[in-house]
Amino acid sequence: MSAGKSGSKLSSFKNLKQIGQGGFGIVYSAQRENGEKVAIKKIGKAAVQSRIREEIKTMKQLDHRNIVKFYESFVDNDDTYLVMELCEGGSLISYVKERGPLDDSTAVHILRQLISAVTYIHRENKLHRDLSAGNVFIKDATKSKITVKLGDFGLATNIGYGGTACTIVGTPGYIAPQVFDQNYDQAADVYSLGAVLYTMLTAKPPPPKGFPKTTDISNENAKRLIEEMMHPDVRKRIQLKEIVMTAYMRENTDEEARLYSRENSRDSRRPRSREPVRSSGAYSNDKKPFGRSSSQPAYSGRELQNNRLNNHDRLPGTSRDNFPSANERGRERQRNCGQGLGPSHEYRMQTWPIRMERLAGQRIRTAGGRYIVEMDTRCRFEVASQGNVIE
């Protein structure tokens, strides 16, 4: 592809080289004027403009370490160009075709990264709808662990839990049976991930129709997991959050991968803040809405109680220091027995206050902003700006 007319946006990129092509566009590697390497996806003028706008909107909203980063978009000669992060290792399907099947530990490490990315996407109320080995890109294969990024959101759609989609889209072999019935939800992405796992362990794409044969896979736990992920009955298909607890995942995960997975899980729980704020009716004693800055700590349980939040909106004080140790609980139990207090008091003492980590991902919206419980002992407050929208 030529670099474009002089003075155009496209002309500011150098060394354009085609690295891939799909049904909706051509992908090039390129170099910015500052030397940074990027990927550029060219979408022809014949493409549906509403679909292009939706893809750009989706990529702008997503921010996860295992999702291809979006930089900018522009139009040149009626063609639309998307500038994104470059994954120089190419696609996963090309990688396994060239090098053969992956070993179990490598396949599990990649699958963990994809699970983290898809979990994040679902929590953002979106479906990818085109999960395949061709849309998984290798960012770094030089180290002992391969880093991958999920890309190509041209078929992604918005969907909340409990909702369904009906358009038949996807890559043959990776499409769940429910898609052909035009009634599917997040479980369709789980089916596609199972097909990606099959590709990693066999270096072959799944057949366009029917369940793939797993005779080439020696690990029985791997076979079982693929069968659970690609079960034709959505009611019997394993849930996304259950995959990491299966025998195949556990037996091929080292401590480094577990730490990576936990850190990634915290990232996927962290919600974005591009949504209107609806007041929960929470006001201070002087009838003014809360307006605490993002640099200040969240309210303690006592402050929230004084401000008369609804019961379902209350977050008790839950620091580690306030949570009784095992020895303290034992001494408390002895004191209770001497005072004739029943087991219900002991139960309340052990389970309250609730640890913050059990509330991770919970939100409280107020007139002034939003509280987000991120992890143990940490809560973030996002301030609503003009227009009642959190920036």
Q: pLDDT value at position 268?
A: 46
- Of the two residues 14 and 376, the one the predictor is more confident about is 14
Torsion of Cα atoms, 301 then 307 then 312 then 315, to 10°: -20
Higher-pLDDT residue of 363 and 388 is: 363
- Mean pLDDT, to the nearest integer, of 91-113? 95
The residue with greater pLDDT, 320 or 233, is 233
Q: What is the pLDDT of residues 269-312, one digit of tens each?
A: 444 433 333 333 444 444 444 444 333 444 444 443 444 334 44
Q: State the CB neighbour count (10 A cutoff) for residue 183.
A: 11
What's the distance, CA 83 to chain centroid? 21
pLDDT of res. 137: 96
333 or 28, which is more confident? 28
- Is 41 marked as a binding-site residue? no
Plot region of 172 (φ>0 → left; ψ -120 to 50 → alpha; else → beta): beta
Quote the CA–CA distance of 26 and 81 in Å, as a whole number: 10
Task: Check for a shared fold between 10-85 and 92-269.
Answer: no
Question: Alpha-carbon distance 96 to 202, whole Å?
Answer: 8
For the residues 365-376, what does the mean pLDDT come to?
71
Q: Which among 130, 152, 185, 189 is annotated as catalytic?
A: 130
Residue 283 Cα distances to 101, 273, 297, 382, angstroms: 59, 22, 18, 16
**pLDDT given for residue 123 in this prediction:** 94
Confidence of residue 361 (pLDDT cuts 50, 70, 90): low
Residue 261: pLDDT band with limits 50, 70, 90: low
Residue with tokens 């556990």: 250
Which tokens hold the place of 51? 């679909």
DSSP annotation string for 126-175: EE-----GGGEEEEE-SSSS-EEEE---TT-EE--TT--B----S-TTS-
Q: Domain spans of the chain?
A: 10-85, 92-269, 273-318+353-391, 325-352
Q: Starting at the edge strand that comes first in sequence, how are the strands of the sheet with 363-365 ordered?
A: 363-365, 369-375, 378-383
pLDDT for position 6: 56
Closest CA to 137 of 98, 92, 170: 92
The topology under which CATH files domain 10-85 is: Phosphorylase Kinase; domain 1 (3.30.200)
Q: Are strands 26-31 and 14-21 parallel, antiparallel or unpaired?
A: antiparallel
> Is the pLDDT score of 352 beyond 80?
no
DSSP letter at 389 equals B
Q: Is the pLDDT of residue 173 over 50?
A: yes
Give the torsion through C-alpha atoms of 146, 375, 186, 133, to 10 deg.
-10
CA distance 322 to 320: 5
Task: Quote the percentage of the chain above a pLDDT of 70.
Answer: 66
Q: What tokens were used for 63?
A: 């921010």
Higher pLDDT, 276 or 56: 56
130 catalytically annotated: yes
- 8-state DSSP, 62: -
Distance CA 374, CA 378 (A): 6
User: Domain 92-269 falls in which CATH fold?
Assistant: Transferase(Phosphotransferase); domain 1 (1.10.510)
CA 167, CA 53: separation in Å to the nearest integer?
Answer: 18
For residue 359, give the nearest of 316, 297, 306 by alpha carbon.
Answer: 316
- Rounded Cα gap, residues 116 and 240, in angstroms: 9
Residue 16 has pLDDT above 60, yes or no: yes
Cα separation, 130 vs 127, in Å, equals 9
Q: pTM of the entire structure? A: 0.66
CB 323 within 8 A of CB 336: no
Q: Which residue has the higher pLDDT, 362 or 190?
A: 190
pLDDT tier, 335 (very low <50, low <70, confident <90, very high otherwise)? low
For residue 84, the cross-strand partners are: 39, 70
Q: What is the mean pLDDT of the chain?
A: 77
209: CB partners within 8 A, 6+ apart: none
Predicted pLDDT of residue 50: 87
Q: Looking at 81-90, 156-165, 196-205, 354-363, which range is the least confident one? A: 354-363
Burial zone of 181 (CB within 10 Å; 0-12 exposed, 13-18 middle, 19+ buried): exposed
